[in-house]
Amino acid sequence: MNREAELHLATADGHDRHVPCDDGDILSAGHEGVYEWAATHFVYEGARFLDVGCGTGYGSRFVTAAGGFYDGVDGSPSAIAYAREHFAGDRARFFVADLMESVPVEFVAGTYDVVFSSEVLEHVSDPFALVELMARFVKDDGVCFVGTPNRLWSMDNMPGAGLLSRSHVMEFTPPALVALLRTAFDEVDLRYRMLPAEAIASIGLPTGRSPLVRAAAAFAREVVPEGLRRSRRSMPRAGSRRWVPADIEWLHAGEPGLDPGRCVGLAAACRQPRR
Instruction: Give per-residue pLDDT as tens, 7-63.
Output: 555 454 555 678 887 778 888 899 999 999 999 999 999 999 999 999 999 999 999
Residues 6+ apart with CB under 8 A from 231: none
The pLDDT assigned to 3 comes to: 53
- If one counts every other C-beta atom within 10 angstroms of the C-beta of residue 55, the result is 23
**CA separation for the pair 14, 1 (Å, rounded):** 20
For the chain, what is the mean pLDDT? Answer: 84
Domains and CATH numbers, the chain: 3-273 (3.40.50.150)
The pLDDT assigned to 211 comes to: 42
How many alpha carbons lie under 13 Å from residue 34 in its C-beta half-sphere? 30
Lowest mean pLDDT: which of 95-109, 134-148, 220-234? Answer: 220-234
**CA separation for the pair 221, 108 (Å, rounded):** 36
Per-residue pLDDT reduced to its tens digit, 147-201: 999 999 999 888 899 998 888 999 999 999 999 999 999 999 999 999 998 887 7
pTM: 0.84
Beta bridge partners of 51: 72, 116
Residues 6+ apart with CB under 8 A from 171: 122, 148, 149, 150, 151, 154, 163, 164
pLDDT band at 213 (very low <50, low <70, confident <90, very high): very low
Class of residue 208 by CB neighbours under 10 A (exposed 0-12, middle 13-18, buried 19+)? exposed
Per-residue pLDDT reduced to its tens digit, 240-256: 688 999 999 999 999 99
Residues 6+ apart with CB under 8 A from 191: 250, 251, 252, 266, 267, 268, 269
**CA separation for the pair 77, 13 (Å, rounded):** 8
pLDDT band at 210 (very low <50, low <70, confident <90, very high): very low
Per-residue pLDDT reduced to its tens digit, 109-158: 999 999 999 999 999 999 999 999 999 999 999 999 999 999 999 998 88
Q: What angle do CA 50, 51, 56 make, to 5 degrees?
A: 140
